[in-house]
Structure 1
């Protein structure tokens, strides 16, 4: 049974069968060190500077001219009750250079003394290999461990593994042509949620709540997101579903209030429905319209009032954007996504009308879900028959180049052989670890897509706390197996696009 305002992980609806399969898999894997490997159980945060341990090193963002690196510092020998070391503020710096024995440049973080380190390296050269070492209190930060997957949290090569660093990455070349504008891609805001990481009501998978006295974490993360994206001067924002935890009208409206800090609804930012935003029954929903499939549909009232359908398309500065309602059906939210026959007919006709125009499609449920550390489930994606149909349409529609989805709460890039011109990009949830958004930069000859963690003080604090979901295994699913799962460059003819009027960039 689903609990109002709570969420199950991963992919919003992790069933009991999924749980049993994954538990057996995880039990067979090497144990994951959730805190310092020498740590004793719960202690106080007291101790010397030498007791501070920098861990959870991650290369989050990699673009042609900059990179973002994060890590965490905690007190060795302590446990905060979630399986991690008690947070301890420390200094933080990244030494880097173009040769592993000559790290002659140093960058410092957003905060000079914090447990939640966020360092941006700027002025990088495209196509250049760099080596780096992140340090706190003179100690090298240890990478986030991947024990369930073949992956790499800290670089584009395995250089430095086994020696404690330095680690290595190679910057990509920028897209070809002239820069046009940028679009924010985000999803899974879950306004109204109070616990993250609940799985099937099983006691061993504890829900993680916000620390007492702090604002609700979905609001913390969305407020930071809207503030953080401003530095990229994006023209548009697309939020792909699960705007709310359980479609309570006040939560839907609060999400709209925060998103409106970005700009005007249906002109600057756009939203689609997720399974959490479906029509519900109960007193909290009684004032909303009767749902097409069940209950009362508050999402429809708040975001698509009147007789508007809950799916749409828009031309944004020459870019054709299609927003899908992937829970346009009856159901309790824990099954596969689906579109109504009417929506499918509309979708096919819209693709045909814009066959050669550069087109971006976004909706909550992915069409395909591959390479997961967790077991596959029909609930993780769109109905398989419908997904196959859409992929067939994409193969016949040269203009479609990107399909953005949420729902899985992870960063992952997939190219299906059924429609190889289209990149399918799953973006991690905005509301929990790694907690952020992707910036899509469009050029006349292609695009770059980069993931960023939300970087407000409280956002970094919650992101690090919520990484302990699923007994601390959550990063192996959510962060992205490789740097390319969250940062990529593609060549596409986008010469038909134009800079928006009053362009922000």
Structure 2
């Protein structure tokens, strides 16, 4: 099944995307083939993905110079991976290595000191890796001469209580990634023949890495399926069940792709409230409703169904009048209680000049009312959203204590999840790419979506779009 990133674009959106694709020619040129030996490799796409108080994760790709794999990138060229780092730009005394014999490099620096600035260079076969170019940000950290710099944060105060993996946009059943509405010049990207379906690869890697990173719970903010086909929902359920028990260890909210559908493939599912048959509700609802409040060790977690309305999924999200009334009443019950809200559509999308429709977020009127309610509910501190397939941290004036965290998609580049680490005196949010061999290969392949421009929209322009520490009294949690 082919699934588009979003919806039918307006004429203005067509002009915007024409400019983006045309702008690909403005990217920095790579070194010409004549300057390199024929058996050389070229390290590119260096990214500083994760920065915690004691660790940092770097990824890059090595390709064969002068080649083209048909997607506009060099063909993969296996190589070694080495990072030199230190606390002075001219004294990089630390060395870390990643696995050799792969073109998809993932190196984690450990044992770092909180609140210190580190300098580094990443290289393969002795050649420095060139960073991913972002028009509005720095993918590899702050350039400092011929090295890059980053500063580790202080940890959240107090003792660590528990961790939660925040994820979204698994799209089980999808077979072509990167299609945008009905733009005829945007070509999608398919999995390499003979390899497992990429949504399964990425979802399984999500579970493995979430557990390896210490997640006790998992929240999936919608679009777990391509188009809510029963077989795809069953596949999503079987993979997520390897993390734990639905309703206890992991919670699911509906996305627009998970909406009720009509047609023969959906006929055996329960009737939908607004249209068609609701296979998602049959697969994932434990209470008969697709929105809920749940207790996690004293933390109130509210899951919203942000497509609780009729439609084809290509318009703005929305809550039904009944759900909205329930939501506001739930917030009023205990306004001081530490609370996380998660749902598929963001309330608003900041720094999103290339949004191809007005459908990137929840209905604007509802979003304003929700932010106003957050302003009266001091316990709410985080709103997790998906849908945009990007990493973006936003804080809105109506609710200055609440962070809205959009998280990059599981199913494609950058391919991962955000780990929420809850401490008694605050919390940390850190985005991690998934690490299995198949996941790294697909993530690097799918970064070529939108004529290679996808990182501009999805990685996050600032390190703080992927990594944040907030001080806050959460001492009442277990």
Task: Specify the TM-score bucket, using the shorter chain as the normaliser.
Answer: over 0.9
1:91 matches 2:80? yes
Task: Show the counterpart of 2:2.
Answer: 6
1:246 matches 2:227? yes
Deviations 1:100-140 (A, max 9, x none): 1111111011x222100000000000010000000001100
Cα distance in 2, alignment partners of residues 322 and 417 from structure 1? 22
Give the drift of 1:354: 2.1
Does the residue aligned with 2:80 lie in a helix, a strand or coil?
coil
Does the residue aligned with 1:329 lie in a helix, a strand or coil?
coil
Cα distance in 1, alignment partners of residues 315 and 473 from structure 2? 37
- Summarize the alignment of residues 66-77 of structure 1 with structure 2, pairs less than 5 Å apart: 66-77=55-66
- Picking from 184, 200, 205, the partner of 1:224 is 205
Asked whether the equivalents of residues 14 and 356 of structure 2 are also in contact (C-alpha less than 8 Å), the reply is no
1:114 matches 2:102? yes
Does the residue aligned with 1:214 lie in a helix, a strand or coil?
coil
Task: Show the counterpart of 1:197.
Answer: 178
Asked whether the equivalents of residues 348 and 367 of structure 2 are also in contact (C-alpha less than 8 Å), the reply is yes
- Picking from 6, 10, 19, the partner of 1:25 is 19
- Summarize the alignment of residues 432-443 of structure 1 with structure 2, pairs less than 5 Å apart: 432-443=412-423
Task: Show the counterpart of 1:502.
Answer: none
1:428 matches 2:422? no
Task: Show the counterpart of 1:237.
Answer: 218
Task: Show the counterpart of 1:215.
Answer: 196
1:337 matches 2:317? yes
How many correspondences in the alignment? 477
- Picking from 391, 400, 404, the partner of 1:411 is 391
Give the CA RMSD over aligned residues.
Answer: 1.7
Give the drift of 1:202: 3.1
- Normalised to the residue count of structure 1, the TM-score between the two structures is 0.92
1:151 matches 2:137? yes
Cα distance in 1, alignment partners of residues 124 and 218 from structure 2? 36
Asked whether the equivalents of residues 54 and 71 of structure 1 are also in contact (C-alpha less than 8 Å), the reply is yes
- Summarize the alignment of residues 289-438 of structure 1 with structure 2, pairs less than 5 Å apart: 289-304=270-285, 308-375=288-355, 377-438=357-418
Asked whether the equivalents of residues 7 and 13 of structure 1 are also in contact (C-alpha less than 8 Å), the reply is no
Change (3 A) 1:203 1:312: same
- Picking from 261, 265, 270, the partner of 2:251 is 270
Asked whether the equivalents of residues 380 and 407 of structure 1 are also in contact (C-alpha less than 8 Å), the reply is yes
Task: Show the counterpart of 1:48.
Answer: 38
Change (3 A) 1:35 1:311: farther
Does the residue aligned with 1:143 lie in a helix, a strand or coil?
coil
Give the drift of 1:39: 6.0
Cα distance in 1, alignment partners of residues 361 and 216 from structure 2? 29
Cα distance in 1, alignment partners of residues 311 and 211 from structure 2? 37
Deviations 1:65-123 (A, max 9, x none): 000000000011111000000000011110001111111111011x2221000000000
Unmatched runs of 5 consecutive residues or more in structure 1: 41-45, 499-505
Cα distance in 2, alignment partners of residues 237 and 364 from structure 1? 15
Cα distance in 2, alignment partners of residues 345 and 27 from structure 1? 43
1:102 matches 2:88? no
Deviations 1:126-174 (A, max 9, x none): 0100000000011000000113xx211011x3424xxxx3100000000
Cα distance in 2, alignment partners of residues 175 and 335 from structure 1? 39
Deviations 1:323-348 (A, max 9, x none): 00000000000000000000001000
Greater mean alpha carbon deviation, residues 392-401 or residues 224-233? 224-233
Asked whether the equivalents of residues 240 and 363 of structure 1 are also in contact (C-alpha less than 8 Å), the reply is yes
- Normalised to the residue count of structure 2, the TM-score between the two structures is 0.97
Runs (4+) of structure 1 exceeding 6 A deviation are: none
Does the residue aligned with 2:435 lie in a helix, a strand or coil?
coil
1:133 matches 2:113? no
Asked whether the equivalents of residues 24 and 452 of structure 2 are also in contact (C-alpha less than 8 Å), the reply is no
Does the residue aligned with 2:359 lie in a helix, a strand or coil?
helix
Cα distance in 1, alignment partners of residues 12 and 168 from structure 2? 23
- Picking from 429, 434, 437, the partner of 1:454 is 434
Change (3 A) 1:14 1:136: farther
Cα distance in 1, alignment partners of residues 191 and 421 from structure 2? 33
Give the drift of 1:368: 1.2
Cα distance in 1, alignment partners of residues 214 and 472 from structure 2? 22
Asked whether the equivalents of residues 21 and 451 of structure 2 are also in contact (C-alpha less than 8 Å), the reply is no
Give the drift of 1:29: 4.2
Asked whether the equivalents of residues 373 and 477 of structure 1 are also in contact (C-alpha less than 8 Å), the reply is no
Give the drift of 1:205: 1.1
Task: Show the counterpart of 1:172.
Answer: 153
